[in-house]
């Protein structure tokens, strides 16, 4: 498996995987799954045998690196792909001088992010009809 910054035709694969996970599986409305942040995000893709098996995006801002839209193909979950994508993004943020990396975790995924060193921050909130909490690693 290769994890890399998505370029060219990779972007179409990223959007397709996100649609599969967020729209088809989690019933997130298509109109909000792709948003204006995608235009200036750095997209990350995990590829295995030419197939996109995982993806995420990172936004670089004054408040740190913001991980979002982490998705792993259903049949590939539990194999460490999400973890490797997160570690790749954290390292990318560190290389760019960011001390803080943060994300909005769905509540069912909090334990996953805690194992990577993220801590909860703030109260839970709803995004796309799904309960989330902000998490960060410094």
Q: Spell out the domains of the chain, with CATH numbers in brackets.
A: 2-137 (3.40.630.30)
pTM for the whole thing?
0.93
- Rounded percentage of the chain residues whose pLDDT exceeds 70: 100
Over range 52-80, report the average pLDDT.
Answer: 96
Confidence band, pLDDT 50/70/90 cuts, at residue 112: very high
Q: Which strands make up the sheet holding 42-48, listed edge to edge?
A: 2-5, 42-48, 51-61, 64-72, 101-106, 130-137, 119-127
* Cα–Cα dist 88/83, whole Å: 9
Give the three-state DSSP class for 29: coil
Cα(first)–Cα(last) distance of the chain, in Å? Answer: 28
């Amino acid at each position: 498996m290769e994890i890399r910054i998505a370029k060219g035709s990779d972007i179409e694969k990223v959007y397709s995987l996100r649609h599969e996970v967020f729209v088809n599986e989690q019933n997130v409305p298509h109109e909000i799954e792709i948003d204006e942040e995608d235009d200036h995000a750095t997209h990350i893709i995990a590829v295995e045998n030419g197939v996109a098996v995982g993806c995420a995006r990172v936004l670089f801002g004054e408040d740190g690196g913001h991980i979002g839209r982490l998705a792993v193909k259903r049949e590939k979950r539990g194999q460490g792909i999400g973890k490797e994508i997160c570690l790749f993004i954290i390292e990318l943020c560190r290389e760019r001088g960011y001390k803080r990396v943060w994300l909005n975790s769905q509540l069912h995924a909090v334990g996953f992010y805690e194992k990577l060193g993220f801590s909860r921050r703030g109260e839970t909130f709803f995004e796309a009809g799904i309960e989330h909490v902000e998490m960060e690693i410094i």
